[in-house]
Amino acid sequence: MTSPEFRDWYNDPANYQPELPHKNRGHRFE
For the segment 1-30, what is each residue's pLDDT rounded down to a tens digit?
A: 789 988 888 888 776 665 555 555 665 555
Give the pLDDT of residue 21: 55
- Residue among 6, 8, 4 at smallest CA distance from 28: 6
- CA distance linking residue 5 with residue 8, whole number of Å: 5
Give the pLDDT of residue 9: 84
Give the pLDDT of residue 24: 54
Helix (H), strand (E) at residue 5: helix 3-10
- CA distance linking residue 17 with residue 2, whole number of Å: 23
Give the pLDDT of residue 12: 84
